[in-house]
Amino acid sequence: LPAAGDPFQLRLRVLKAQVSVLCGHSPLPTAQGSRLDFSLSVDYGGNPPESGSQQTRPDIHSGNNTFQQTHTHKTLMKTIGILSDTHSCWDDRYAVHFKDCDEIWHAGDVGDIDIIRRLEDTAPVVRAVRGNIDHGDVCRRCRESEIFEVEGLRVWLTHIAGYPGKYAPGVKNFLSANRIDIMVCGHSHILKVMPDRQLSLLHINPGAAGYHGWQKVRTLIRLSVDNGSIGGLEVIELGK
């Protein structure tokens, strides 16, 4: 846990981390015994695990006394589905895994506008940004980035941003100035979930959900947010 007076404690404190790829294998390693308490970077090398199986839902719980005290309103927990880089690929399993989600966030490189329309048939709220390959209807519909608040957490959704320790130019200052709690981006096709200690935020890249690209496994993310807390994060494999 963060030490007393640590700035990391002021906005987002990761209390517990246990993350598993839903492939029937042992949980992936997570940082233990450190103030950070959670870091995950997945880049399957060699033969990817067999897809299609699932195991017990893993959890990431975050809490923040100072932040929560300034958001005293009572709200209902929301389940969020996150994907990116579909590149015009629709997989019926998107709807299967996101059917109970309150919101779906798409981090760009959508491809065909029908992807967004079909996601809208799946969840009541769809938030999507355009990526570097998007054009036409997607660019007319989607902005380059979105800032919004869900359950007391300030979210920045964009396509290209980098990650903690290797942000794109200007991103770190932007995150700090806008007091972002969760940043979601895509582009790399690499599944990566990790906190930024200095900025007290959680970075999420859901990897690539589409077939286009060099990724060995297509992935989605699902999590819950509840009154300033993040929990129940799941990594869902779709295979190659």
The predicted model scores a pTM of: 0.73
What is the tens place of the pLDDT at every residue in 121-155?
999 999 999 999 999 999 999 999 999 999 999 99
Query: Would you say residue 68 has pLDDT above 50?
Result: no
Distance CA 200, CA 12 (A): 5
Distance CA 95, CA 91 (A): 8
In the structure, what pLDDT confidence band is assigned to residue 76 with cuts at 50, 70 and 90? confident
What is the tens place of the pLDDT at every residue in 191-237?
999 999 999 999 999 999 999 998 999 999 999 999 999 999 999 99
Helix (H) or strand (E) holding 94: helix 92-98
